Chain A
Amino acid sequence: MKEILQKNSKTNVKIRESLEDEYKFGFRTKSKYKFKAKKGLNKDIVAEISYMKNEPSWMRDFRLKSYDIFLSKPMPLWGADLSDINFEDFYYFLRAQDKSVKSWADVSPEIKETFDKLGIPEAERNFLSGVGAQFESEVVYHSILKELEDKGVIFTDMDSAVQQYPDIVRKYFSTIIPPYDNKFAALNSAVWSGGSFVYVPKGVKVETPLQAYFRINAKAMGQFERTLIVAEEASSVHYLEGCTAPIYDKNSLHSAVVEIVCKENSNVRYTTIQNWSKNVYNLVTKRAKAYKNAKMFWVDGNFGSKVTMKYPSVYLMEEGAHGEVLSIASASSRQHIDAGSKIIHNASNTTSRVISKSISRDGGRTTYRGLIRAENNIEKMKADVVCDALLMDADSRTDTYPTIDVDNAKRPLIQHEATVSKIGEDQLFYLESRGLDYNEATSLIVSGFLEPIARELPMEYAVELNRLIKLEMENSVG
């Protein structure tokens, strides 16, 4: 008995320590900026960004047109509360370094310090095929393994891609998510900067993941990266992204657009571990189009941010396409995570699967908002949706709003189920009776709850996810 008590008091100290340092990426580094656009948003700023990047005229026109669309679109009235966002309050463009470099040694010291603290170069050495690191508005560092470069794989930042590969970029850019899709897609189209461009040629399989890392460092910063992934026939690629930011009293805005093209028989996996600090509005549009027999997987982990509205979607365009979304949301105090998925079955014999797991604690709110749509006159589609929500205490809230929409489909098979529960007393009792304390038991149960998703992550990330959950849980019961 004494031993158990001692053990408990030890964990209590640990909990207190972790409470004090709740968000471990909250540090900020001092940076000198090469260029900082004026605060606020107007046509001149949009034109200035384009000028600074020395862009071709088609891109400049595209930005200006998108800005007009942005002004004409109303703010979304559904979902999370966005009334606090004032678009004049943000800096839309910050240049931290003259250009993106390929060698870690050439990265400027302040930026290097930031990414060293986040462990980026270490991760690259250990298990990645390529790395891109974005600091504020632009990518400061990117690298890719020599073998892959020789095979024709392109992994670079979007700004360089516009200059170096204009043909491919122009062919696919904004075809998946046009600027008139929604207000934030229009905003991104107008002021986009940075992001990754991945092109995998026919038949090439990229075995280890490519990673991009996004960091907001300045106060009241708006980060608008734009990512385009093109997977040609029978290719495969796994792209990972991670995001962090320091804590300021002013809110930041992150509004990305991610477009993915999965050609015949290709296999694309896109993993996000979003861990923004709790002053970031994360309003992201992500969409993939999957063609014949292609497979598209979204793995989406949402832990940070003040407000997240993100619905990764897959458009199944041709026969045999498969789309899958695995999503985790964890919200604690002052957080509202409104995540979900959209699957549009646009062809016969298409299949999809959605697994969503959410955890709300300390007054946080999670929402699942999903759509399964079978378009007109398609045959034999199959869709399976599972949403599980875990409520850790009485102050939190969880909502589920799935939509299942079928138009004249022949032989569809659609299943949806959702449950809300708390951690079972009997499960806790079982583990506690075997000598685990309350915190250990809770984090073990939560890890088990997330297991179907952790299984899909690469080894190192699964470990990281479990560690993150443990940390979050310790805070929650401290």
Chain B
Amino acid sequence: MNGIKTIYFKLSDSLKKEYADTYIIKRGETLNYILFADSPGEYNITLDFILQGIDSFCYVYILEVGRADFYNSRKGNIPIHKFNLNISSIHKSPETNARTVVRRVMYNNSESYINGLIRIDRNAQHSFDYFDEKTLLLSDNVISKVVPALEILPDDVKASHNSAMSEINDDEIFYLESRGLDRSIAENLIVKGFLESQLYPIRENKVYDTIMSDINKRFLCI
């Protein structure tokens, strides 16, 4: 019956720089897909999510941490972070739901290009889709290009996207610093909250702990 499938993919697990995958979500199925991209390098990733059955649901969460020369200062080779992501959710049948969340934290001179497409086919009435992209900038040298696109053919659907980008709020940093935290720890704390806040749909899942520990490892707050 209703299968809930959760896929957690950590980019540093794989050395593949080119990566393309298509997921087909059938009737009544739920797919949670979490991609944690925090390793340096040049990546080309294409992900297609095809919602093919009535009442299928797809939750995609992309966490990108762009730390161009964080690791490689130790290793001594040229540090880059160039992340190229094409992500699309395609609704092929009625009453399909999808939500794509992208959270990016960009340090140093990271580069990131994101194309997010929502396509709802003519017969996919009563579908819902939301593409939500937010970026936290921790550097002045970031290069970013975001193209969220909507292609909507039926009329009785809800589809939206948003894209926002800003620095860490000075007030938040001030609040934490005034309580005795270091600036770097305060930043880490805010970034951690920023990334974790969108994990709630998979809170009940086993994978949740793994992802949390991965985030905790990356952003030490002590």
Which secondary structure characterizes the binding site on chain A? strand
Tally of A-B residue pairs with Cβ under 8 A? Answer: 104
Interfacial chain A residues near B37, Cβ < 8 Å: none
- Which listed residue, A400, A404, A421, touches B145 by the CB 8 Å rule? A404
Query: How far, in whole Å, are A416 and B164 apart by their CA atoms in the complex?
Result: 6
Interfacial chain A residues near B150, Cβ < 8 Å: 389, 398-401, 418, 420
B residues in contact (CB < 8 Å) with A: 109, 122, 125, 137, 140-167
Interfacial chain B residues near A404, Cβ < 8 Å: 144-147, 163, 165
Identify which of A397, A415, A420 gathers the most chain B CB atoms within 10 Å of its CB: A420
Smallest Cβ-Cβ distance to A425: which chain B residue:
B156
Query: How far, in whole Å, are A399 and B119 apart by their CA atoms in the complex?
Result: 9
Which secondary structure characterizes the binding site on chain B? strand
Q: A415-B162, A420-B160 are in contact. List 9 more A-B contacts (CB 8 A).
A: A393-B155, A394-B122, A394-B155, A404-B144, A414-B166, A416-B163, A419-B158, A419-B159, A421-B158
Q: Is the CB of A410 within 8 A of B140?
A: yes
Smallest Cβ-Cβ distance to B125: which chain A residue:
A394
Query: Chain A: how many interface residues by the 8 Å CB criterion?
Result: 32
Q: Is the CB of A391 within 8 A of B160?
A: no
Q: Is the CB of A418 within 8 A of B148?
A: yes
**A334, CB-defined interface residue at 8 Å:** no
Interfacial chain B residues near A397, Cβ < 8 Å: 151-153
Smallest Cβ-Cβ distance to A370: which chain B residue:
B147
Smallest Cβ-Cβ distance to B156: which chain A residue:
A422
Smallest Cβ-Cβ distance to B165: which chain A residue:
A414
Q: Is the CB of A407 within 8 A of B143?
A: yes
Interfacial chain A residues near B153, Cβ < 8 Å: 397
Interfacial chain A residues near B156, Cβ < 8 Å: 394, 422
- Which listed residue, B122, B148, B165, touches A402 by the CB 8 Å rule? B148
Which parts of A383-405 form the interface with B (CB within 8 Å)? 389, 391-394, 396-405
Smallest Cβ-Cβ distance to A385: which chain B residue:
B163
Interface 1/0 per residue, A293-319 and B, CB below 8 Å: 000000000000000000000000000
Q: Is the CB of B161 within 8 A of A418?
A: yes
Interfacial chain B residues near A394, Cβ < 8 Å: 122, 125, 154-156
Known: A394-B125, A399-B152. A420 touches B167 (CB 8 A): no
Query: How far, in whole Å, are A393 and B164 apart by their CA atoms in the complex?
Result: 31
Expressed in whole angstroms, the minimum distance between the Cβ of B121 and any Cβ of chain A is 11
Known: A404-B145, A404-B147, A420-B157. A398 touches B152 (CB 8 A): yes
